[in-house]
Structures are given as C-alpha cells and as structure tokens.
Structure 1
C-alpha cells in the first residue's frame, strides 16, 4: 500500500517536472509571474496569442491557460524594478488596468520589452475603449 502511494506521488512529480520543462521550452513563451491583490507571486509562463496574453501556471495539471488577458483595453498603469525581497533579481513589476480589474505581472527586462511592444502593436481601434 505504501509503495503504491509513493509510486503515485513520484509519477505526479515527474509529470509536473516534464510539464514545466515543456511549458518553459515552448516557442513564444516567456517566464512571467502574476499577483492578484496583496497575495504572493504565482510562477508560470505567458504566451502571446493574437490579441490575448495567455498565462499558464507551472503548478497544475491543465495545459490550458489560467488567465486570458485581452490586449483590447489593457493599459500599463506603472512599472518598476522589483526590490531584493519582493521577487527574483532583475525582474520588473508591471501594474496593468484591465477589464477585470488591476493585474500585476512580474517579468524579466527582455520579456517586459516584448510585452510593451506587443501592447503598442495593437490596432488603433484597440485603445478606444480604454478610459
């Protein structure tokens, strides 16, 4: 009985490691953390798909995105480099205003440059709704 439980736990751990490695290596993805409210950071990957940013957490069994953030109406409220105790060294935090409320992302400087370019490359009509 104990051997079966141990085998099951090891199988799930191996699956999560392979899943995380596959997500991180997938073309067009960047490492990105998400925070809602005053909670902690959740690690995952972000992928640009048309007019949406899909965020997939590292811990989880689903391969589908947990968040699909529409570019339409998304605006950057502020951005700054994370301090030593806040998160990974060299990461930037970006506070965005979205339709569902504020969203806080943390990403590397290269990923931030790509994110800002993605936002700016939206069609002119995409920012008409933004208030």
Structure 2
C-alpha cells in the first residue's frame, strides 16, 4: 500500500517535510483539483481542505494530506467538492489580491503550521 502524500503549493514545505511524499502544484486551485482527482482514484483526506480560520483564497497557500483508501471515500469527495465550491465562491465575491513577499511568507508559515499540526495529530512525523 502507498504512503500518504501532501499536495501543496507552499514552497516552505519543500524545505521542511522530508518523510512524506510532496506533490508541488502551481496554485491554490490546483491543490484542490489535484486532491479531488486523487480522491476519485481511491485516496482519502487526512487533513481538512478548509483547516484554519483563514478563508480559502484569502491565503494563497494550501497543503492537503491524503492517504490511500480501499475504495472511493464519499466523505472525502463531498468535503473536497464543498471546499472547491467555497474557493470559487470566494474568488467570485472578492477581487484578487497581490501580496508582498513578506505577507506571502507569513501565509506560508500559517499553512506550514496547520500541516505540521495535522502531521503530528495523525502521527505521520
């Protein structure tokens, strides 16, 4: 059986996470859509795609942990579909922001902290 994987667009994870496979994608929407694609291939969510108090698309960085499943996990599918819907809704209702490098780094740290917590909680580190 395969090991868990993290789908991310956060460059900080490349430096920090060594024991779990990372798949780096270009942007926030790609994190969600790649995660959904894996769920359709019998993977399940280990971390919630809307973790933390920062709304989707407010933080341009997101990391999602998935693990292999024996069959299609409908809870994971429903959860990721709702997260994608929230992301689209947020993008329609708010104009795209440009962030300074410092703010981008702060958002990367927020995402890193959330994913570190999920990894420790699930005993993956």
Instruction: Give the TM-score normalised by the residue count of structure 2.
Output: 0.26
Instruction: Give the TM-score normalised by the residue count of structure 1.
Output: 0.25
Larger Rg: 1
- Higher RCO (C-alpha under 8 Å, 6+ residues apart): 2
